[in-house]
A and B are shown apart, each in its own frame.
Chain A
């Protein structure tokens, strides 16, 4: 197809579109959704039995707070980054919170090293942990993919990595809230491991996933130009 013909086709097919709401508002919407998922999870599964005790432990509270802060900042960064004329530096917004979160987990691991025992973790708990992980991360990832589908052709990798980080931090927050995993090595594995896996999956498949969602919802975006 010649370019003037393409312009004709595009102009003739230009239906009215609804402008995107500001990115911070959209991030807030996603976080609201995350809060709803956490609430449902807490109602369905119940919070960990020793939550009131844990809430007196500074390191636990700090870890939870930093995980939440990472999730909030990463969500804002992902929505900001998805608009192509915003600076790439937005990707660094969650970095300080992420660093603090990782360091609290690492610190806990260092001080509580001796608490790893044969009875530290029960197998059943690990499987329930996995279920929590899926219940939290799958719907939130899908929601984020759909909300950020317009970034597929523009910044797929950056947006999916930062978006994946937001999902990972929320998931980790949910795990700490619901499951009493006190063997610190398990906390480390579950928290950082799931975060790494989710962010890794996002960076490996985010581009394709965004493209897939975009091609279902915005057909025509990925057709190569016709000569």
Chain B
């Protein structure tokens, strides 16, 4: 505690680096009494003066500066809405500290609740859902690991009869059009369609652990 500080009541939330001095507390109390009577300039001065003090406590309680700033605004709004409950015969600082204490604890609690309920999405979650969506027919292969699903699919394609394997590689993996595939392979469009259909049916069986027909 600084040498210049007078002995007397002090705040539970305020530590040694308390920006308050006793003289200021008296001023705040007077300013609030005037603000209750509708003096807007005194009220503005009061809010501007308490803001750094409120922030210094909020910064200690919240890691993220944006959270601390939200808490500061919350405290100022609460002070505003309950300003009629302040009794000018009592000192202002404990009143303010009690309000800040309550609001900060409430915010910390709701933050904890939110964290317990919500999971932050990472790229892993995203790739899992995309992978699962793309391969939803291949339920066996739809694991949360890209590599496993892909390898299983490639192995299954490798086990297909040659005409089906080529059809699926051209039309699905290389994303050729039916015309392009027909030109490259020299087979008719109808034959390619049939081969692709059979390939997909076979892949389903293979990925479920059966044999290609």
Contacts and interface: CB of A to CB of B under 8 A. Distances in A.
B40 interface: yes
Interface string A1-16: 1010011101110111
Contacts of A8: 44
Interface in A130-177: 150, 153-155
A17 B36 contact: yes
A225 B58 CA distance: 14
B102 A153 contact: yes
B107 to A, nearest CB: 10
26 contacts: A3-B72, A3-B73, A3-B76, A6-B77, A7-B47, A10-B77, A14-B43, A19-B86, A20-B85, A20-B87, A82-B85, A83-B85, A83-B87, A84-B82, A84-B85, A85-B90, A153-B78, A153-B81, A153-B106, A154-B99, A221-B78, A225-B70, A225-B73, A225-B77, A226-B73, A227-B66
B82 A154 contact: yes
Size class of the B contact interface (CB-based, 8 Å): 35 or more
Contact of A17 (B51, B74, B83, B106): B83
Contact of B95 (A12, A16, A85, A226): A85
A221 B81 contact: yes
Interface of A: 1, 3, 6-8, 10-12, 14-20, 82-85, 150, 153-155, 214, 218, 220-221, 223-227
Interface in B93-123: 94-95, 98-99, 102-103, 106
